Amino acid sequence: MKGARRARTALIEVRYSAIHGYGVFARRQIRKGTTILEYLGDRLTHSQADARYEQKESRDNHTFLFTVDSNTVIDAGVNGNEARYVNHGCDPNCESVKRGKRIFIEAIRTIRPGEELAYDYQIQRDADDPHDIDEIFSCRCGAPGCRGSMLVEREVKPRPTRAKRPQRPANGRGGRRG
């Protein structure tokens, strides 16, 4: 049949993931730099998102909320698409990219067919987080360098250094010379 086009294999599929629940997997090779999909869902203010989930159990880490900026959150749990199933990974093959007020998932390296897509969620920490917040948002990616949490790494504050005592002169007397 002349001129007939062969149907192209879909780029991704959602199926069970060993990392967490469902995941998104490449059905064919995805080249580095490819925009794979947009993160879609209800667009809310932060206060609307807080109100929507205020009854949620505090130890529930299951969320489809994506912070766009200081005013906007995307709730992929309502009117969302496959992007909500892309799992967190500490050695990701994708990243989230903001273009205007939209979020896209892009490949940061070539992804092989069958490979699960993952990006670093970089969930922000809050001052009022419970003491076991890293346990609540524990990472299951299995990467050799896994940091154990979907949260951004804790800031390591440099230890305050003590002022060094002025060295005493060799003659054993300190003080000012006048």
33 pLDDT above the threshold of 50: yes
Q: At 38, is the secondary structure helix, strand, or coil?
A: strand
Q: How many CB atoms lie within 10 A of CB 69?
A: 9
Count: domains in the chain: 1
Residue 28 lies in a domain: yes
Residue 47 lies in a domain: yes
Residue 52 lies in a domain: yes
174 pLDDT above the threshold of 60: no
Q: What is the pLDDT of residue 176?
A: 34
Average the pLDDT over 165-178 and give the result. Answer: 41
User: What backbone phi and psi angles, to 5 degrees, belong to 133?
Assistant: -60, -35
Residue 23 lies in a domain: yes
Give the structural domain span for 72: 12-121
Residue pLDDT, tens place only, 88-138 = 999 999 999 999 999 999 999 999 999 999 999 888 777 877 788 878 788
Q: What is the pLDDT of residue 173?
A: 40
Q: What is the pLDDT of residue 136?
A: 77
Residue 54 lies in a domain: yes
**Residue 136 CB-density burial (10 A; 0-12 exposed, 13-18 middle, 19+ buried):** middle
Residue 128 lies in a domain: no
Q: What is the pLDDT of residue 153?
A: 77
Residue 94 lies in a domain: yes
Q: What is the pLDDT of residue 171?
A: 40
Average the pLDDT over 155-174 and give the result. Answer: 50
Average the pLDDT over 155-177 and give the result. Answer: 48
- CATH at residue 30: 2.170.270.10
Q: How many CB atoms lie within 10 A of CB 111?
A: 24
Q: Which two three-digit tokens encode residue 120?
A: 């670093």
Residue 79 lies in a domain: yes
Q: With pLDDT > 90 as the criterion, what percentage of the chain qualifies?
A: 50
